[in-house]
Structure 1
Amino acid sequence: MERWGITIPVPGVPLGQHKRIVEELHDWGYTDVWSSEKAGTDAFTPLVLASQWTDRLRLGTAVAPVYTRGPALLAMHATALADLAPGRFVLGIGASSQVIVQKWNAAEFTAPFQRVRDTLRFLRPALAGEKVHGVYTTFSIKDFRLDKPADPPPPVHLAALRPEMLRLAAKEADGAITNWFAPYDLPQIRKEAGPDIELAGRIFVCPTEDEVLARRLGRRLIAGYLTVPVYAAFHEWLGRGELLKPMLDAWATGDRRRALELIPDVLVDDLIVHGSPEFCRERIQSYSDNGLTTPIIALISTEGDPLEQVRSLGSARLRSGT
């Protein structure tokens, strides 16, 4: 099945005013809505609302961090949403980052690969309704069983940026979720994930033909994300180490303005989709053509009408029913 997703909440639209958007998304060419969790809404509340506004879209978290909730609470969140949207909810989990976990949530960001793996191995039996009692590498669980597991249990996707996590997703999860990549990066990512697993990816989209504005907004996002160690390592693996080095060096010295200036246009144009709605749709389609199963648009807010922007970015192929 061809998929086309959008991130909610949409920038510039209060969460409580999303009903009209969510109700129309299917007709605009969308199959999925995915939430995120950084410093705005949590990953689950927008999907709870969306589950009551439509039964035509798949819902997913991209992603719920494994450090900021206990394993059992993650299972309860997932079960509640799977009950609200039977067969339509995907639990995406990931390590997140040191900033979000340690600086903002006062938790230790240690052994992220092992913590994600352990959480996945707990969630599999727990979501299936089994009693879980075991010692994992990063935590222990004693006699946990869900009161009423969802039927069917929700699939679990892993946030994966590099080979080890991509291979874990392919071996033990139902899918992988990645972001901050160009279409031509996908063969390298797919090589590690394998050909069969669902690969979802968040794509940052700025639907404006004002290149100066799009690149200015893009540079801010790139500096905010790609200076985080996990993303810097991801792009080192993808072969962008030398391209990013001047920005990273300036950032490390505390010269934020200079770091922004040192982000080249080619990097912004690779990682941020911008241009007319028609060009943006074609560029998003190129991700699918290169191996991405589920593109997830993350709208970058401009002065335009966000409702119209979301409508204009929907898949023309899916909207027409072909």
Structure 2
Amino acid sequence: MSMRWGMTVPLSGVPLSGHQAVYQALEDAGFTDLWSSEVNGTDAFTPLTLAAAWQPRLRLGTAIAPVFTRGPGLLAMTAAALAEAAPGRFQLGIGSSSPVVVGDWNAVDFTEPYARSRDVLRFLKAALAGETVDHDYGTFALRRFRLERPPATPPQILLAALRPGMLRLAAAEADGVILNWLSPADVSTALAETKAAGPDFEVAARIFVCPTDDAAYARAVGRRLIAAYLTVPAYAAFHRWLGRTEVLTPMWQAWSAGDRKGALAAIPDSLVDDLIVHGSPDECRTKVEAYAAAGIKVPVMALLPTPALEAGGFPTLIKTLTDLGARG
């Protein structure tokens, strides 16, 4: 398989100190990329820093580092340090994140997310290239900032995007885009907004994967995720744009009324099957390949719990990763 093949790290149930064996298993299985996230678990950079030291061949990426929760200078320094530790192997994914992560958990005003994302993107491109930055970007202003250790190979910067405005910004000014919460059939709709991008434009997507033959279990897990994510205003607007207003309105109405059970029950199997990959590892791998066929250059699995994983411990986890890998 020539395409890149990613996994979201760290994996649940394994301490960071135990991930050297996980990273080795992923590489042995044919995974090419490790991508981190940043919500309320680990930060986005520490798991990748360990991977940079432990696995010198794997590519690394953040999906995403929020543009609000670090000062621009600190974000540039953190990205530069990881780019120095993994020269030519690190891609910096940034995005606006959400009002909960930014405001409720980090005590930062979540205002003008598009403008803040645009301004941080422009700053990072200049700073990581070693330039002195003395500029008022609009959402923030910096005076005479220059990295003491600019990376010899500046990382590509990818922008998380959902709707046309951010997708077009990614195409115009970033090195790539990070997509999330869409089906293979939705990929063409999103990428239609990035036609201005060059041929080397990266397209990564996080894909939730539940490797189990127990469809009822997988759909129950998927319903909980859909209810948690697609009731967030940005994701709700994204799926309205994708044409899912009719199918999602019953869930939104129940959720707004405080009826959590009713919201879960209102999510049809067909929607779960569109947005959550599940089945045997072979079936999951085939479904992830459908994203690549639709235009995703870096499909990144996000492994969901299964009864077998929870009961089988570390050996079952390693076997599952092997079965899901590009060489599975």
TM-score by length of 1: 0.96
1:136 equivalent in structure 2:
137
Q: Distance in 2 between matches of 1:46 and 1:307?
A: 18
After superposition, the C-alpha distances for 1:210-240 in whole angstroms (9 at most, x for unaligned) are: 0110000111111111110110011111111
After superposition, the C-alpha distances for 1:267-301 in whole angstroms (9 at most, x for unaligned) are: 10000000011110000000000111110000001
Partner AA of 1:288 in structure 2: A
Q: Distance in 1 between matches of 2:175 and 2:156?
A: 6
Per-residue deviation, 1:310: 1.5
**Paired residue secondary structure (1:18):** helix
Q: Distance in 2 between matches of 1:198 and 1:148?
A: 26
Q: Distance in 2 between matches of 1:286 and 1:219?
A: 22
2:223 equivalent in structure 1:
219
1:270 equivalent in structure 2:
274
Q: Distance in 1 between matches of 2:283 and 2:128?
A: 41
Q: Distance in 1 between matches of 2:72 and 2:7?
A: 27
2:33 equivalent in structure 1:
32
The correspondence for 2:326, drawn from 310, 315, 319, is: 315
Q: Distance in 2 between matches of 1:200 and 1:65?
A: 17
Per-residue deviation, 1:311: 1.6
**Structure 1 residue runs without a partner (length 5+):** none
Q: 8 Å contact 1:90–1:157 — kept in the other structure?
A: yes
Q: Distance in 2 between matches of 1:232 and 1:2?
A: 31
After superposition, the C-alpha distances for 1:74-114 in whole angstroms (9 at most, x for unaligned) are: 10010010010000001100000111111111111111000
2:295 equivalent in structure 1:
291
Per-residue deviation, 1:189: 1.0
Of stretches 5-14 and 263-272 in structure 1, the one that deviates more from structure 2 is 5-14
Per-residue deviation, 1:185: 0.5
Of stretches 192-201 and 117-126 in structure 1, the one that deviates more from structure 2 is 192-201
**Structure 2 residue runs without a partner (length 5+):** 310-315
Partner AA of 2:203 in structure 1: L
Partner AA of 2:13 in structure 1: G
**Paired residue secondary structure (2:209):** strand
Q: Distance in 1 between matches of 2:35 and 2:174?
A: 18
Partner AA of 2:71 in structure 1: G
Q: Distance in 2 between matches of 1:24 and 1:307?
A: 6
Q: 8 Å contact 1:12–1:301 — kept in the other structure?
A: no
1:104 equivalent in structure 2:
105
**Paired residue secondary structure (2:126):** helix
Q: 8 Å contact 1:12–1:306 — kept in the other structure?
A: no
Per-residue deviation, 1:24: 2.8
Partner AA of 2:320 in structure 1: Q
TM-score by length of 2: 0.95
Residues 177-196 of structure 1 aligned to structure 2 (within 5 Å): 177-194=178-195, 196=199
Partner AA of 2:323 in structure 1: S
Residues 35-54 of structure 1 aligned to structure 2 (within 5 Å): 35-54=36-55
Quote the RMSD (CA, aligned, Å). Answer: 1.1
Q: Distance in 1 between matches of 2:18 and 2:183?
A: 32
Q: 8 Å contact 1:170–1:176 — kept in the other structure?
A: yes
